[in-house]
Amino acid sequence: MKIISGGVCAAKGFTAAGIYSGIKKNKEKKDLALIKSSVKANAAVVFTTNNVKAAHIGVSAKHISDGMAEAILCNSGNANTCTTNGAEIALNTCKLVGKSLHINASDVLVASTGVIGQDLAPQPFETGIPQLVSLLDDSEEASNSAASAIMTTDLVDKQYAVSFELAGKTCTIGAIAKGSGMICPNMATMLAFVTTDVAISSEMLQKALSDDVQDSFNMVSVDGDTSTNDTCIILANGLAGNPKIIEEGADFDVFKEALAKVTIALSRMIAKDGEGATKLIACEVTGSVDKKSAAAIAKSVIKSSLVKTTILGADANWGRVLCAIGYSDIDINPDKIDVAFASAAGKIMVCEGGAGVNFSEDLAKKILLEDEVEIKICLNVGTEKATAWGCDLTYEYVRINGDYRS
């Protein structure tokens, strides 16, 4: 498997574009993106589990019900959530894309991200969509533009792509994602759009995606808030020419491995770019009786505000880690738990058998001052493991969200 450039345009037959259309106040920031497959593609999706959902979710869910799609349109700057005409805007947007691309409106999927509860005007779409269509390209720059156009408070765009072989055919998976705040998915991610030229049925594509998000996007938390707009879409157009994957087996396993490579890379990027964040935190839980328990504990630690501030201050206050493990609702034996902190500066054991050990505070601080920090927890009761990703909690996070609408 090889990491390659190109993002969402890396796979055969995919083009993209991103522009400023007038949705955002800042004209220097793009706010409308389009991704297009040259042929109708098999498709799969996961949406937010929040009971308050953006209008695009109902529309896209209906359009993807046949397991097919050909284009994705995403706007940033407005969530199109909790408004009186959200569904109408989303439907009309699909019609505009369909007309401009000469495809069926039902083969268009839409997504939105931004401020909740503000009406989304139709005019930016009416003028922006034809412009997007004219700019569609399969270049790396086209993926860059689309990735920039779906950002809100993100400081960096998020792209990743890999190539691999299936039955002697070179295949590719590429993706773009956005996410910085209101991040604690219970499905997939904030917004992620994945493209692949692998030939795979929509049923197997859905199985691969639904399984994958449990170990990738669902293991990310920036602030504990699950968005109303979370959407992850994957399109597979089959242009790589591999024998179509229609059941589990060796080829399906290779595809899932490649997909995980992409989604986990994006998950780490999202966590590291958390609003106001200065550090990426990875929490690895090993020695668990089952994977579900390990995942719940890792997520509990990552979500803890006290753990997050401990990492911010580079203070080896390991008791906060034990506390977060304890309220995870998982049956544990505290007397068996070991905890260590690790980074590029080294590794230090701070707790063994549920009790503190003598350690160098100076080395611990040096380890915790790095911009990527690992919290290593061993439960010592089994063989299963899981990893979650998050970030520190800073004063800047409060500032950003104190005046988000402005």
Q: Residue with structure tokens 């040096």?
A: 366
Q: Where are the alpha helices (DSSP H) in 198-331?
A: 202-215, 250-272, 291-303, 305-312, 319-326
Task: List, for residues 224-280, the tens digit of each pLDDT value.
Answer: 777 888 899 999 999 999 999 999 999 999 999 999 999 999 999 999 988 888 999
Residue whose C-alpha is closest to residue 392's, from 265, 282, 300, 264: 282
pLDDT at 187: 56
**Rounded Cα–Cα distance for residues 372 and 279 (Å):** 6
What is the Rg, in whole angstroms, of the alpha carbon atoms belonging to the chain?
A: 22
**Contact between 8 and 147 (Cβ < 8 Å):** yes
Give me the residues paired with residue 74 across strands.
Answer: 33, 111
Residue with the bigger pLDDT between 167 and 221: it is 167
Instruction: Collapse the DSSP code of 303 into the 3-class scheme (helix H, G, I; strand E, B; otherwise coil) and give the result.
Output: helix
Active-site residue, 15 included? no
**Rounded Cα–Cα distance for residues 337 and 322 (Å):** 8
DSSP summary character for residue 23: S
Instruction: Collapse the DSSP code of 103 into the 3-class scheme (helix H, G, I; strand E, B; otherwise coil) and give the result.
Output: coil
264 Cβ neighbours under 8 A, 6+ residues apart: 215, 216
Residue whose C-alpha is closest to residue 160's, from 177, 148, 145, 146: 177
Task: List, for residues 368-385, the tens digit of each pLDDT value.
Answer: 999 999 999 999 999 999
Task: List, for residues 133-151, the tens digit of each pLDDT value.
Answer: 999 999 999 999 999 999 9
> Tokens for 138?
């399969």
Residue tagged active-site, from 15, 81, 113, 189: 189
> Tokens for 114?
């931004």
Q: Give the architecture-level CATH label for domain 280-402.
A: Roll (3.10)
331 Cβ neighbours under 8 A, 6+ residues apart: 293
pLDDT at 406: 53
170 Cβ neighbours under 8 A, 6+ residues apart: 163, 164, 240
CATH number of 2-272: 3.60.70.12
Q: Read off the pTM.
A: 0.91
For residue 109, the Cα-to-chain-centroid distance in whole angstroms is 18
For residue 177, the tally of other CB atoms under 10 A from its CB is 31
Task: List, for residues 168-201, the tens digit of each pLDDT value.
Answer: 999 999 999 998 766 566 655 579 999 999 999 9
**Contact between 351 and 357 (Cβ < 8 Å):** yes
Where do the domains of the chain lie? 2-272, 280-402
Residue 85 CA: distances (Å) to CA of 21, 44, 149: 20, 26, 23
**What percent of the chain is modeled with pLDDT above 90?**
86
Class of residue 230 by CB neighbours under 10 A (exposed 0-12, middle 13-18, buried 19+): buried
| Element containing residue 388 per DSSP (H, E) | strand 384-391
**Rounded Cα–Cα distance for residues 183 and 280 (Å):** 14
Beta strand spans in 83-156 (E):
108-115
Task: List, for residues 83-111, the tens digit of each pLDDT value.
Answer: 999 999 999 999 999 999 999 999 999 99
**Rounded Cα–Cα distance for residues 3 and 19 (Å):** 27
Residue 209 CA: distances (Å) to CA of 43, 170, 221, 257, 348: 10, 21, 19, 11, 36
Q: Please say if the pLDDT value at position 17 is more than 90.
A: yes
**Contact between 332 and 326 (Cβ < 8 Å):** yes
